[in-house]
Structure 1
Amino acid sequence: MKIIAFTGAGISKQSNIPTFMERPDVREKLFRSYANRHHEEYNEVIKQLKANMNGAQPNDAHYALAEYKIPIITMNIDGLHQLAGSNALELHGGLPEDDEMEIAWSLYNKPVLYGDPAPNYQKAYEMVSALEPNDVFIVVGCSYHTAIACDLRELAKSRGAKIIEIQEDAAHNVRKTIKELLK
């Protein structure tokens, strides 16, 4: 049995990182067209995002996925999977380095913005396409608000994989779910 995890903002909520659903003022500014037209305002949004994530630490959900070496596809840009020791496929890139903040508006994949190509989407489809019946696709803290989140669930389902949704209390439920699966 193969297990793949697909994570969204909900996995990091217990690490005190607000979700975009809680910050619509931020989400509406994460468009390439906005960055190109409003350089300084966009840079300020990215600085705020980065400040929200500075000092955040992985929670037990991140550590459990790392300890059990579960392959991860993530929509997050917070870097917490990497801090926990996983090598996650980042669908939406990461954040600019401190020395890139003045040119944040011009960067690609730091993060991937609405209107930008997302180079890791194809890799995610390939990972999920490799699932077989009786494999497991664990969805942690992902809404249905993005096409990729819906597509990957549907693809896993079409491959015959069992889909397990963990939308609440990821810090406790991820480890518990993995232990159950591996009994």
Structure 2
Amino acid sequence: MSFDTVLLEKLRSARHLVVFSGAGMSAESGIPTFRDAQTGLWAQYRAEDLATPDAFRRDPVTVWNWYAWRRAMMRERQPNAGHLAVARLERLLPEVNVITQNVDGLHQAAGSGSVIELHGNIHGSRCFDCGRTSGEADGANGIDIPPRCTYCGGMLRPAVVWFGEALPMQAWQRAEDIVTDADLFLCVGTSSLVEPAASLPRLARSRGCTVVQINPDVTAHDAIAQFVLRGKAGGVLPGLLAAAWPDDS
């Protein structure tokens, strides 16, 4: 793939780069997107029917076990070339922040040091009643399913954002702040369907930031972006870095 010379210069001279990633990036590591059909024991369920507070109240054991299955699957996956390229950008530019809609922790596993997780992290847990975080979701005593909060005795739930819930206020405010300050915004592997996260590219463009869309498919973000790179993150991002810094090993 060839790259516009104007884009390459904007990347090399970026003062503050924001990478905004979605499910398409994790899919390249073998993690199904959220709405993909369930398999095996879970084939009879729709993901949307398991990822709500009401579903947890109604059947906490089933919801906990589904997330345990998803955690185990994600734990076997590794960062792909796209994740690694994003992490490498941190040593090439003055400031790089990652804002992700993914809950798998692959950006951190790849080495990215500044990651805002808008939808939480599946590997953690928090109390359904008091809201206190409880670290690793698999750090339960192996007796109670779901495990219990050591502070109030309430049921622990996955530390992710469910349908009908607001994004974590601190994470969202931080995301808005860094987008407002950025001069280059890479929108990678996101469908532009999930709000309010999908509003971030619009915010970036409204603040005069250069927006680059990286996706194999057409999305609503194409109309916002000054540059559209049609392809998967694992191919486009390493190629983009090689073109911008050909002498960097």
Q: What TM-score do you get using the length of structure 2 for normalisation?
A: 0.65
After alignment, is 22-31 or 67-76 more displaced?
Answer: 22-31
| Residue correspondence of structure 1 range 21-32 to structure 2 within 5 A | 21-23=35-37, 25-32=46-53
Higher RCO structure, 1 or 2 (CA under 8 Å, sep 6+): 1
**Partner of 2:196: helix, strand, or coil?**
helix
Q: Offset of 1:141 from its aligned partner?
A: 0.9
2:32 partner SS: coil
Correspondence 1:76 to 2:118: no
2:175 corresponds in structure 1 to: 124
1:93-132 aligned at under 5 Å gives the runs 93-95=120-122, 96=124, 97-100=137-140, 102-103=145-146, 106-107=155-156, 110-119=159-168, 120-131=171-182
Asked if the contact 1:142–1:149 (Cα under 8 Å) also holds between the matched residues in 2, the reply is no
Whether the aligned pair in 1 keeps the contact of 2:190 and 2:215 (CA below 8 Å) is yes
Question: 1:177/1:32 Cα in 2 relative to 1: closer, same or farther (>3 Å)?
Answer: farther
Contact 2:61 2:146 in 1 (8 A): no
Asked whether the equivalents of residues 25 and 82 of structure 2 are also in contact (C-alpha less than 8 Å), the reply is yes
User: Can you give the 5+ residue segments of structure 2 that lack an aligned partner in the other structure?
Assistant: 1-13, 39-45, 91-95, 125-136, 148-153, 217-231
Aligned position for 1:145:
193
Are 2:239 and 1:176 aligned? yes
Name whichever of 115-124 and 92-101 sits farther off: 92-101
Quick one: which amino acid aligns to residue 187 of structure 2?
V
Q: Following the alignment from structure 1 to structure 2, what is the Cα–Cα distance between the partners of residues 89 and 171?
A: 21
Aligned-pair Cα RMSD in Å: 2.3
Q: Does 1:20 align with 2:34?
A: yes
**5+ residue gaps, structure 1:** none
Following the alignment from structure 2 to structure 1, what is the Cα–Cα distance between the partners of residues 185 and 83?
16
Alignment partner of 2:120: what SS? coil
Q: Does 1:89 align with 2:116?
A: yes
For 2:89 and 2:30, the matched residues in 1 are separated by 24
Query: 1:156-167 residue pairs with structure 2 within 5 A?
Result: 156-167=204-215
Percent of aligned pairs with the same amino acid: 31
Q: Please say which structure displays the higher CA radius of gyration.
A: 2
- Superposition TM-score, scaled by structure 1 size: 0.87
Contact 1:15 1:58 in 2 (8 A): yes
